[in-house]
Structure 1
Amino acid sequence: MDNVLSIVVLVLVALVGGLALGLLLYRLKSGQAPTPVSVQSEEVQKILESAQKESERIIELAKEEAQRIRQEAEEKRREIEQIIAQRRSELEKKEQEVEQKWKLAEQTLSQREQSIAQKEQVVERRFEALERREEELYKRDRELRDLERQIEKARRDLENRIREIQEVERQVQELKDRELLELQRIASMTMEEARAEVLRKAEESAKIEAIRVAKRIEEEAKEMAEMRAKRIITTAVQRLASEIAINYTTTAVELPSNDFKGRIIGREGRNIRTFELLTGVDLIIDDTPDLVTISSFDPLRREIAKEALERLIEDGRIHPARIEEIVNEVKKETDEKIRKTGEEACMELGLYDINPGLYYYIGKLYYRTSYSQNVLLHSKEVAYIAGLLAEELGLDAKMARRAGLLHDVGKAISHELGGSHTDIGIELCKRYGEPDPVLNAIRAHHNEEPVRYPEVALVCAADALSAARPGARRETLEAYLKRLEKLEEIVKSFKGVVNAYAVQAGREVRVMVSPEEMSDEEAYQLSKDIARKIEEELEFPGQIKVVVIRETRHVEYAK
């Protein structure tokens, strides 16, 4: 306001000066003579006084106007301040309301987060409880199925026993009736009739004895004849109820539900890769409901993989560490099972004095095939036939069974060591103190040396009979299995190779190398060398993928 008043005063002073100057110029232009200085000063004095009065009046008016403007401005300022204060108060209230709403929203959000976390824990606990319940139900269902099978078997056994008892009762009753009739007949006979009856029975007994003697003489006369030999062989084969087992290259494992397929595969396929790497098989998981197929040409690998997979499904915990633990456990148990199988085969044939060190190799024959024929079953079959033939000919049946059982024992490890199964079999049997007829049978059944014992000749004949019976052998499957075995032998011949598995029906070979002996660059070169050697030494259709796996593990224990 002071600035405005100063400006108004300056304007008024300029206005008064302008009026005085204008009056002076007007008089000069109108031709009036200039008045004396005194007269001019008086007029100027009057004009100045008049102007001063006018300026004072204008100043007063200006002051009044300025005062009024100041008052109005003051009122406006107070109104603006009141409005500002009111708006500030409203703004503060709104800020407080917003702050309260924000705090309330934070509390609500925190409560909801806590509620959601609690609900998630409840859901997780319920899910775990459901999983446990599902496992319990699955185990109970399996137990019930086993119990049902046992009950059904017991019911069948009971029915068979009842039928046997009824048959025995019927025979006893018939015998009783015959004896009763005979007693009645004898009681009604005279002395002469009784004497005649006794003589008749004695005559019949003598005739029967004479027939037996004549038959024995006839059999002894025809012992060396061709017809007698054929009859003995036929009798021996007919008395043998051989076990038939067909070995395929795949095994199916049933799943409790289709959801297990995802758990077997694992995140990004790590479970199935670990399982295939440790067992050397190929897992086929397709659209077949509740079923997983294990593929491998080696029956032992398939058996280990099948047992391990069934245990993992039963356990429910499927992850790489658990898979490795179960597979190693199954391998140890399978070795013991193999030894037990060999021992049972020896006990079944009555060979109680075989060195227990051979049990493992005999049992391992169960997982080997020769032209699709199971080698252990073939060896047992040869042992039975040779033993029966020896009994018919009056030779050492036990030695014939012993030689028949062990004639192919080298096949248990020939695929691992390489070389002839006869040479390996000879070495094994010499190591465990087997007699010379057994060693002669091992070589003679492939015509590698002449037969020196009659029991060995029977073993060779039994071997030919077992291999020649219908359905015993198939050349196509054996050629396929030999090609896969040859493929693994080629790979294992390279330095640094720890193990090798042929999978995908021979279209892929997985090679595991030692990380301490071979670098990544050497592993890369090894894959090329293996592929080149396979091309040179093996004939195969299509192509074979060579996968070299070099894995380094670092293990530490937290104590």
Structure 2
Amino acid sequence: MEFNVITLLLVVLALTAGIAAGVFLRQRLVEGNQKNLAQQGKQIIENSIHEAEQIKKSAILQAKEDALKLKQDADREIKSNWQELKEEQRRINRKSDEIQREGELLEERLGSLEQRQQKLAEQEAQVESRNRELGELVAAQFDKLESIAGITREEAKKELMDSMESEARMDCAKRLVRLENDMKLEADRKSKNILALAIARYAGDYVADRTVSVVPLPNEEMKGRIIGREGRNIRAIEVATGIDLIIDDTPEAVILSGFNPVRREIARQALEQLIADGRIHPARIEEVVKKVTEEIEASIREAGEQATFDVGTHGMHPELVNLIGRLKYRTSYGQNILQHSLEVAFLCGAMAAELGVDEKKAKRVGLLHDIGKAVDHEVEGSHAIIGRDLARKYGEAEEIVYAIGAHHGDQLPKSVLDVLVQSADALSGARPGARKEMLQSYVKRLEDLENIANSFPGVEKSYAIQAGRDLRIIVDSQKVHDEDTVLLSRDIARAVEAQLSYPGQIRITVIRETRSVEYAK
């Protein structure tokens, strides 16, 4: 037990001595390390101080070098600026010397200008005095000339102006004659060829159908049967057809009166069938009128379709086709309008083919140009404008619509198609036998033509010939010169255009004749 305690004590002592030795050694090591660290730190500090001094010395040297360089640069720049300032000062001095010299020159010029102004003023005064003297001399000369010539200055000026105007008019007339002759030669040649070919190629019927307004009766007793008991038959016919029946002293005839040509034709055919049948009473009248109306409507459609087929215009609105067929029962100056429209269509197509224009369009507008006459008794206005509106309503091209409205001058022509339909319409209506004209209006137009021509100064006689389509005028050769005949014919033509209405055109020919007679003895 004691041994264990001693052993334990020895162990404890040994451990305590080991621990103390370890602590001592560690303390010695720490003190040695601290000394080494202190020496190393001191060495580092000394090195740093040495390096800092080296850096400071080099920085000071560099700063001195930079300062020296800046000073040298500044000295050079100052020297350069000083040289520029000196040069600028020399330029300013030279400029001021020049300005001073220019000022002296200006003063000298001002002085010379003042002298010149004085001289000019003196010269102007001399010129004015001379002008006054010349004016007085000219006035005296004019007075002397007026006294010698026996006319005043204004009269002489007027005569000179009149002479110049006369010469100008003569020159103008000569040029007009030359230009017109050249143009007429070319235009006549081309127009005659085109019209001749168009007329030669058209082979139409020259017999015009007319709507008959008089129904012949087999005997006078038929008038009483048409009138009926207390007039019931005639009233039934008038109510059913819309046409007035005139039964007067005309032997064996009944007159049909009405503005609608289709209704008048229905009444004519219905009355002829009733007369042929012999049974005339209100029920029979209504039956016959209904039957005839259906037949007429069918014939109208057939006539319109046949016309479009003959001309070759397809795709036309059915209402327009019916209106074309209605023209079969419409006449103008005795000329059947459907036949006239076909004729105009063929002539338009022939002339369009010669001129290189669309032939189908020309035929189409020729066939439709008088379509307004189918309803002109129902609608107010010119048949050209009515036809234009109908064509536009039923989908025709605007070019065709405008040509229809322009074929009688209600609109100004704008294209070749407009002029073609005007020419073809005038050609169809103006040819011999196409239309009938009242004798009184015919004679009146001839008298008006001659009166217009006789109203112009210098005209001795005038003659309207060729059914009023040619006006021959004989002028006094002492009053009208050759050059004046051109202007006179143009003036008369303008007066005729303004004062008269006529189909086609009128040729005006002015004749001036000079005769010299001498006898040989």
* Common fold: TM-score over 0.5: no
TM-score bin, normalised by smaller chain: 0.3 to 0.5
* Structure possessing the higher radius of gyration over alpha carbons: 2
